[in-house]
Amino acid sequence: MRRMGTKKIVYSALMASLIAVATMVIHIPSAFHGYIHLGDGLVLMSSILLGPLAGSAAAGVGSMMADLLSGYAFYAPITLIVKALAAMGAGLLYKKLTRKSGSTTFRLFPFLSAGMICSGIVTGGYFLFELVVYGKSAALLNIPPNLVQNVFSLITAGTLLPFLLSRKEFKDLSFQKER
């Protein structure tokens, strides 16, 4: 069990790094202060591959690091919270929906359900933050780009997850009981 714990920590750190890189490398600025990127697809993937706790830690830290390293330091604290909560919600729902079958393969309905939860938390979290900081108009203006970002996230994760979940390394990791 100790070996698996170490493996999960290493995979979590790797996923946090991948999230940061995927967020920073290709990003398209959106209407106000955000940008469209591939990192949120990995946020969703981290919650499914690593489970709710490790996945949310990787998602929050990786996304926050991307903000800190790419000039969006003002957003870093809210990004840590929003992305961690999004991954936690998605991971818990995916785990609950797949627990009954015991299957470790990619399942579309649980994936889409988890993706919708993740997307809703991210869009809602940033909306509330921007509502307080910038006002109603700016917060509303950023909803459409956030929804586009959510679609890119689902496509990214939906493309990669079937392959990754078929690998023994991730089957052992993602369905391990978290403490």
Distance CA 11, CA 100 (A): 26
Q: pLDDT per residue over 5-36, tens digit each?
A: 888 899 999 999 999 999 999 888 876 667 78
Mean pLDDT of 64-89: 96
Q: Please give the pLDDT value at position 4.
A: 57
Percent of the chain at pLDDT above 90? 67
Please enumerate in sequence order all residues whose Cβ is within 8 A of that of 124, keeping only pairs 6 or more positions apart, or say none: none
Structure tokens at 100: 């009954």
Report domain extents, the chain. Answer: 2-27+35-169
Q: With 50 as the cut, is the pLDDT of residue 148 above it?
A: yes
Q: pLDDT per residue over 39-68, tens digit each?
A: 999 999 999 999 999 999 999 999 999 999
Please enumerate in sequence order all residues whose Cβ is within 8 A of that of 63, keeping only pairs 6 or more positions apart, or say none: 19, 20, 23, 39, 40, 43, 79, 80, 83
Distance CA 121, CA 163 (A): 26
Stronger pLDDT, 137 or 178, i.e. the higher one: 137
Stronger pLDDT, 24 or 168, i.e. the higher one: 24
> What predicted TM-score, i.e. pTM, was given to this entire model?
0.90
Do 114 and 44 meet the contact criterion of CB atoms below 8 Å apart? yes
Stronger pLDDT, 145 or 178, i.e. the higher one: 145
Distance CA 158, CA 74 (A): 30
Mean pLDDT of 163-172: 80
Fold of 2-27+35-169: Arp2/3 complex 21 kDa subunit ARPC3 (1.10.1760)
Among candidates 12, 129, 116, which has minimal Cα distance to 67? 129
Q: With 70 as the cut, is the pLDDT of residue 94 above it?
A: yes
Q: Label residue 99 by pLDDT band (50, 70, 90).
A: confident
